Amino acid sequence: MIQPVGEIQATSRGANQNAGIWGIGNGLVSTTLVTYFALSIGAQEVAISWIIAAPKLVGVLRWFAPYLLKLGGSYRMTSATAFLLSTLFLLLLPLCAVPGIWTSTSRAITAIVICWCFYHLAEYCGFVVFIAWLVQLVPNHQRGRFFGLRERWLTAGKLIGSLFAGLLAVTLRDAFVIDFKWISYPFLAVYGALAMGISVLPLSGIPEPKTQNQPHRSFLEDLQHWRNSRAYWFLLYGTWFSSANGLFSTLLYVYPYRGLNISLLVPMLMVAAMQLGQSLLSRPAGAAIDRFGWRRVMICGQLFVALGPLLYSFGTIGYVAGNLVWIAYALINVALPIAVVDGRSDASAGPPLALYFAWTGLVYGLTALAGWSVANYFVAPELQYDPTAYRTYFFVATLLRLSAVIPLLLLPAESRANK
């Protein structure tokens, strides 16, 4: 279906404004910030694994996201409600830092994990419905540029939020004698939640699809999407890459805190630099997808991002270089939703998005939970303050990430037309 030019422009404008404002909130409250917070109150590796994994495990429930439309009544109402719920759970995070509320560190960390889980679950469901909404309004041959531009706005927002988070954390640490974690974290969580709440407003300018009905009726029908060779290889790629990331994720967060002994400002600046690069790369990545197809672009991105852990092994300079190489994630991030919907332009795009991200999120979460034992196997707890002890761990992590490109190489050519 060919959409009117004015409708596509309105869709792009609303989607980009939403991405930019939401990105600011997401940059303020990142996984890096939460893991630093948990480590500062005494969390061990297993707790960090749960912070990384638990949102992905509960995220398997996003499988039901397309069916929320029956409750919400429209794409706008359903996605906006989910995003506002995520904001509410994010506002509860500061309670985890209030002195005296929790009788033990383990209970405080449990509260962090619970809030973090429900915040992500609501966000995941809103994302699935939102992307399914957008692909019905944008023709297949324009999706690369559309999502590339949206990714640019998203990463630019994250850049602003990350810079503000790092600078505010350092300012508050130096300005107050009282406990750093108590005064800084509530500020960042509240600011992030407010930004995410405001990001819902631009959704009012995005038109609803002409047809609201859902062509699928059951989970079994939704699974039919994956019954072809291209889908098998793509699902294998998602499983492989998610497993590699999950098994070797824990020490990527512990390493700068213990191995390199650097302050929160440095990781936040690296995240900001990575997001600046991704913002600049996203639009050209989208144009390349429209011209060459998402498969080639994803292969290039996979080869680059796999090198990150290997660079980490070269100390602080390698840590910086590894984060800069991860600018190439822009290639994967722009291509992924286009690849999953595979040319669909109606409501049938929702279930594949929900199923793919639910499955790969579950795989990542389960392997991340096993990641703490993998971390202890390669780097004993007493050696985690020695940066040279991480080298074997980072080398194996690189090999697994590199090998994830194999299913992409075996993928048949992708669809180039709307379905």
> pLDDT digit string (tens) for 250-262?
888 888 888 888 8
Query: Is there a domain that residue 416 lies in?
Result: no
pLDDT tens digits for range 309-365: 999 999 989 999 999 999 999 999 999 888 888 756 655 667 777 788 888 888 988
Rounded mean pLDDT, 168-197: 69
pLDDT tens digits for range 6-59: 788 899 999 999 999 999 998 888 777 777 777 766 767 677 777 777 888 888
Query: Is there a domain that residue 250 lies in?
Result: yes
pLDDT tens digits for range 270-302: 877 888 898 899 999 999 999 988 999 999 999
pLDDT at 349: 66
CA–CA gap between residue 325 and residue 308 (Å, rounded)? 6
pLDDT at 215: 46
294, 339 in Cβ contact below 8 A? yes
CA 101 vs. chain centroid, Å, equals: 31
Compute the mean pLDDT over every residue in the chain, rounded to the nearest whole number. 82
Query: Is there a domain that residue 20 lies in?
Result: yes
CA–CA gap between residue 337 and residue 132 (Å, rounded)? 9
- How long, in residues, is the chain? 419
In the predicted model, is pLDDT for residue 303 greater than 90?
yes
Query: Is there a domain that residue 418 lies in?
Result: no
In the predicted model, is pLDDT for residue 181 greater than 70?
no
Residue 377 DSSP class: H
pLDDT at 116: 86
In the predicted model, is pLDDT for residue 218 greater than 60?
no
CA–CA gap between residue 194 and residue 201 (Å, rounded)? 12
Lowest-confidence range among 164-178, 235-249, 258-272?
164-178
In the predicted model, is pLDDT for residue 5 greater than 70?
no
Residue 413 DSSP class: P
Which residues neighbour 140 within 8 Å (Cβ) at sequence distance 6 or greater? 343, 345, 415, 416, 417, 418
In the predicted model, is pLDDT for residue 81 greater than 70?
yes
- Alpha carbons within 13 angstroms on the beta-carbon side of residue 297 total 28
Q: What element of type H or E holds 83?
A: helix 75-92
CA–CA gap between residue 9 and residue 144 (Å, rounded)? 15
Query: Is there a domain that residue 396 lies in?
Result: yes
Query: Is there a domain that residue 30 lies in?
Result: yes
pLDDT at 382: 84
pLDDT at 1: 43
Output the domain CATH number for residue 63.
1.20.1250.20
Q: How many domains does the chain have?
A: 1
pLDDT at 100: 66
In the predicted model, is pLDDT for residue 2 greater than 50?
no
Query: Is there a domain that residue 401 lies in?
Result: yes
Query: Is there a domain that residue 212 lies in?
Result: no
Q: Which of 115, 109, 111 is nearest to 46 (CA)?
A: 109
CA dihedral 198, 19, 164, 177 (to 10 degrees): 50
Domain that holds residue 137: 5-203+221-409
Task: Report helix, strand or coil for 29.
Answer: coil
> Residue 204: is it exposed, middle or buried by C-beta count within 10 angstroms (0-12/13-18/19+)?
exposed
Tokens of 197: 């709440």
Rounded mean pLDDT, 219-232: 67
